[in-house]
Chains A and B, each alone.
Chain A
């Protein structure tokens, strides 16, 4: 290989003195060592949150011993306290957490709440009046809409916000990527939903979540409840029901819970089916306030994945290439369904 011509101005020689390669390695390893000592716990927890695979194995190979070491040194906590003011996250503390110590049975593993134990009385809340053909008064006005969930809640959150901005509805977009009801290590949705309902007091909540589900729940006697048999669905439904109950605020709000369009991957389809079944069961006691919006049959009719479907007489791609999420066009379809239900429930959109 020979160079005939060079662009001398392009390859600016770096400034500063030259050191040896072993100095470069030393610098990086000194930095790495300090970070392991100061952030070992955080490296370990990052690894634990990752999806299974070689990257997780690699991070945990370093993170587990580093975390062990950091647990025994008082300095890590001090560093966390000093840098806490830089964190952009709202502190997620308070009531409603799913992570109560598991007792016996799946419902207890779900963190208590409705659903387990003795047979609960059936109330009028369990019936959607419109399904019975009964006319009821609409809620007066939708002023604040909360759109939340995991990555599935995007881009429907921004689409709803744009659409409703002209009516004066304030849309709070609060998607938490990579989280799930069966995955409490990043966000405990029990705590988060309580906090969202308390702080925002939305009259309507759109929930679209389920891209990161399928994780085992803690069960009785240290055993874990694996996805996706009925036991797992019981725990999922119990947790979802608590969230629905929180969001509906004793009937002051309406909840629009979107079911999952089946993903392309077969393994993902099994999880989605369990999640969808659990959502349907979870909503039963609150049918007067909680609307389960069926995205499964809209995007995957007949239980078959398809990337494109007919919209307005034209074949249109509705899924992202990952085979899980909806793209803008698909999300637009979902938004139309949500808007239709909002209009049915509220006398007026906006103040």
Chain B
């Protein structure tokens, strides 16, 4: 089920009302919310629920065994097994086809006729988010940062529908404590929740989908048909589209959770105002950044092993971070570009000091450039896209709405946050009736911009 749909608009009010009605009776509330989350997930494909249930039970079994064992060696073996099983699940669903094709190609070129079997495997929506959260639970139990929770709490943590399909990647130690006692019905951040839901809807439907339709999809689809001005605008527009699409989803997710009484971590903090790559990754997909930091970069040794080990660790982390998005060389290249930029930045730290505006200009444009292989269907087309920058032909897609929307979103990220924040805080203080009327008005206007094809899926659904 996708947030900006009629189905969800019918589903959510029912779940919200029942959730608060049952909140004091946790023995009933938890199974209810679990069932609601599974219904939400089953809308995509009921079989996916089997996968999420298996991941839940497998990780809970490992967490309990780790907790009960005092033998460090046994604990380590179990956590390695759990992480391996989680990654194997991810690998089968997400990467098998990619690697089988690549390996078969290599074997074929080497004249070895032992191809891996091929299978068209359906990718469960949001599997990467689910698996990363499962790993965070089991590893945090292993690290003794948390103790195992009740199985139903773990099931709810992994399947809670607001974050189920595209994050944010909520850590077990952030979410499970919130399940320990009923949410306080006297302290619900209603205004903040509604504001986030509406901002998210506008970002996704009115901005991201608009730019996709008007410029990004045509140009990235057939770059050969466009000249440099269109390709240039499409590059900026895609940077805006992916930000609005993904941050729009997480805004809605965080807002829905607030209405249900839960707090999720922030996932974006105006990333395109970053003046360094380190800053960019503290502002973009924050929950993935910290996951990669805590579960990959630091365990690899972080920056503690000298210059070359730091470079190695940064590159491994960023390339795997790229691969996390999907099985394609474009994602690997995207990760490698960011990894290289972080390495260069790390090496020159303290030696070269750029004015902030110049740092911003450089970082922003490298980020925009890195989005090209990320978005292009394959590396060949990414190359074809880049080649079009050399053809300074006519601009055919530069319409006023596209240009204004693209540069307005970028400008709002760079501009001081205070005026917008003040506006949001004023909105959050509105009377509930005014909030409800505002919600209806914004939904009405946003819905009017949806084409007869419906709302396209969020980009990160396929990750």
What is A's interface to B at a CB cutoff of 8 Å? 1-7, 10-32, 34-35, 38-39, 42-43, 46-47, 55, 58-59, 61-63, 79, 83-84, 86-89, 158, 161-162, 165-166, 170-171, 173, 176-178, 186-187, 307-308, 313-317, 319-323, 327-328
Contacts and interface: CB of A to CB of B under 8 A. Distances in A.
A151 to B, nearest CB: 10
Nearest to B436: A30
B12 A315 contact: no
A19 B444 contact: no
A271 to B, nearest CB: 21
Most chain A Cβ neighbours within 10 Å, of B6, B221, B445: B6
A321 B97 CA distance: 11
Given A11-B263, A21-B185, A317-B118, A5 B173 contact: yes
Given A1-B146, A18-B188, A88 B16 contact: no
A59 B225 contact: no
Contact of A4 (B146, B259, B443, B444): B146
Contacts of B23: 21
Interface residues of B, number: 90
Nearest to A44: B6
B221 to A, nearest CB: 4
Interface stretch (B235-243, B331-339, B345-353, B451-459): B451-459
A4 B145 CA distance: 5
Most chain B Cβ neighbours within 10 Å, of A28, A158, A319: A28
A11 B262 CA distance: 10
Instruction: Tell me if B's interface is mostly helix, strand, loop or mixed.
Output: helix
A61 B10 CA distance: 10
Interface of B: 1, 6-7, 9-13, 16-17, 20, 23, 43, 97, 101, 104-105, 108, 115, 118-123, 144-150, 153, 171, 173-174, 176-177, 180, 183, 185-195, 210, 213, 221-222, 224-225, 258-259, 261, 263-266, 290, 377, 381, 421, 424-425, 428-429, 432-433, 435-437, 439-440, 443-445, 447-454
Contact of B192 (A16, A62, A328): A16
A176 B453 contact: yes
A28 B12 contact: yes
Contacts of B147: 1-2
A71 B261 CA distance: 37
Most chain B Cβ neighbours within 10 Å, of A87, A166, A327: A87
B79 to A, nearest CB: 16
Contact of B266 (A12, A21, A322): A12
A317 B174 contact: no
A170 B264 CA distance: 48
Contacts of B290: 7, 10
Nearest to B286: A10
Given A29-B436, A171-B222, A321 B118 contact: no
Nearest to A162: B222
Given A20-B186, A84-B448, A89-B451, A5 B108 contact: no
B440 A59 contact: no
28 contacts: A2-B147, A3-B145, A3-B173, A6-B174, A10-B174, A15-B424, A18-B190, A24-B188, A27-B436, A28-B13, A30-B436, A30-B440, A38-B444, A39-B444, A46-B6, A79-B444, A87-B451, A161-B222, A161-B225, A162-B222, A165-B224, A170-B225, A177-B453, A307-B119, A314-B105, A317-B119, A322-B122, A328-B377
A322 B177 CA distance: 39
Given A16-B429, A314-B115, 19 more contacts: A2-B147, A5-B173, A10-B290, A12-B266, A14-B193, A15-B425, A27-B439, A43-B6, A46-B6, A58-B7, A59-B6, A88-B449, A161-B221, A162-B221, A162-B224, A173-B221, A320-B120, A321-B123, A328-B377
